[in-house]
Structure 1
């Protein structure tokens, strides 16, 4: 029989949900800012290329962004206990992150 402390699980899940919500909210804001910066940078490259100031190798630029690395990982020996020990924190964090991301 597994001894489960429901109050501790609730505290872990609730705390992780709050932290996940804050990180999700911040992540979405930062992602929007980075997307704007990258878009402006690409527009500047196009403008400078059209003026003949710089030459951009677009083929090389886009092929470098796509990498086909395949890394396989092995499951930990006690994967059941690993999942059970982190389930409440990870579930709370994931739910909070998604709510914060959606609200951001």
Structure 2
């Protein structure tokens, strides 16, 4: 039997929440920056296409976006039950902190 102290669990949850909050905040800022860059790039493509400078295959662009979405949703997590249970306090704290940080970002 494994002895787990409440203080240790509290430190793991709190540490995970702090790290998750920082990463969530940064992830939202980075996601916004990437969205702005992609939007500007698509607007530039459309502008250059209307001027006749280049020709854009919009169907290929939307197809590539659909393929990346389906690949990301079909990924299977590893099935290590003991690792999952040992990392549960940190994971729970991280997930909560990430959501709070992402919302504040």
More helix by share: 2
Unaligned runs of 5+ in 2: none
Q: CA deviation at 1:82?
A: 2.2
What's the Cα RMSD here? Answer: 1.7
The higher radius of gyration belongs to 1
Cα separation, 2, equivalents of 1:101 and 1:35: 15
Unaligned runs of 5+ in 1: none
TM-score (norm 1): 0.87
1:23-34 aligned within 5 A: 23-34=23-34
Residue 20 to residue 75, structure 1, CA distance change in 2 (3 Å)? same
Residue 51 to residue 34, structure 1, CA distance change in 2 (3 Å)? same
Structure 1 outlier segments of 4+, above 6 Å: none
